[in-house]
Amino acid sequence: MHDHSRIRDYPAAIIATRRSIDLAVRHKHRFHVLHVSTADEIPLLESHGGLITSELCPHHWHFHVGDYDRLGTLIQMNPSIKAAKDNQLLWQALLDGKIQVVATDHAPHTLEEKSQPYPLSPSGLPAVENYFALLLDRASRGECTWNQIASWTADAPARVWGIVGKGRIEVGYDADVVLVDPKLTRTIQNAKQWTKSKWSPWHGTSLQGWPIRTWCNGQCVYELDPSGDGIMHDQGVGQTGIVGSIGGARRLTFDHQRGGYWSTPDGIGV
Ligand SMILES: [Zn+2]
């Protein structure tokens, strides 16, 4: 299993990121680097104004090659997971604003698929369901602020992708809100996962700070009942009445300097 990180090694990640950034800078085109996995990429992301933005996934600050012995193909990812030192430095880059967005690269392969011997096993893991609690736990331990979490998961993605009417709690914006209980402690369990793949690489991890209610477009889509089991409401998701009218009022502008359409007047770091 360790071969995966030897095949998809540091140079693979660094060369890909450097080449892409060089091209973006040469053509003055906005570029967002997905899945930063090595500390060595961090200096490449800096000093481009708002032209280059980037994103980090929770597995790349949580897991390192030493975890292959325990988790095997469950943490087989592309880009591969790296060393414990990378975990720490990538988290620090997020704190320092050198990386602006937290995303998940959610890939809900089944345990059956993952149990095939490497390299028949697919790369990717389910992460979208627990990434927010993983962040809230960091905040409850004083390792980041609530405002940083809101920025990494809502405000910055909306700016990076020019998503109209999203990313902040403000008049005129969509009513997408997550209510969290910063004191609630729960343990991630495979059997309780909503994802159809029914497992998490963080199975058995106890976290403090959990979402207890979620609204999308003003509709409650998730709530945690007093027994500690979550309830999903799927009515209302995808209804767009209010969104359409408010979204339509926001102008998109094409910015040649940064490349592409933007709904916000400036990009990250500009
Ligand atoms: Zn991906």
Per-residue model confidence as pLDDT tens digits over 56-78: 999 999 999 999 999 999 999 99
| CA distance linking residue 136 with residue 183, whole number of Å | 10
Residues β-bridged to residue 186: 207
What are the average pLDDT values for consecutive 10-residue runs of the chain, which has 270 residues?
95 97 95 97 92 97 98 97 98 97 96 96 96 98 98 94 87 90 96 94 98 88 84 57 36 60 48
Domain residue limits, the chain: 3-262
**Å from CA of 59 to ligand 1 middle:** 12
Q: Are 182 and 208 in contact (CB under 8 A)?
A: yes
Can you give the pLDDT at residue 112? Answer: 97
Q: What is the pLDDT of residue 71?
A: 98
Ligand 1 centroid–CA 258 distance in Å is: 23
Taking the centre of ligand 1 as the mean of its atom positions, its distance from the CA of residue 154, in whole angstroms, is: 19
The confidence score (pLDDT) of residue 237 equals 42
Can you give the pTM of this predicted structure? Answer: 0.87
229 catalytic? Reply is: no
Residues 196-235 pLDDT 10s: 899 999 999 999 999 999 998 888 889 998 777 888 886 5
- How many Å lie between the centroid of ligand 1 and the Cα of residue 251? 30
Give CATH for domain 3-262: 3.20.20.140
- Catalytic site residue from 105, 137, 174, 176: 105
- Note the pLDDT of residue 164: 81
- Ligand 1: centre distance to CA 105 (Å): 5
Q: Which amino acid is at 165?
A: G
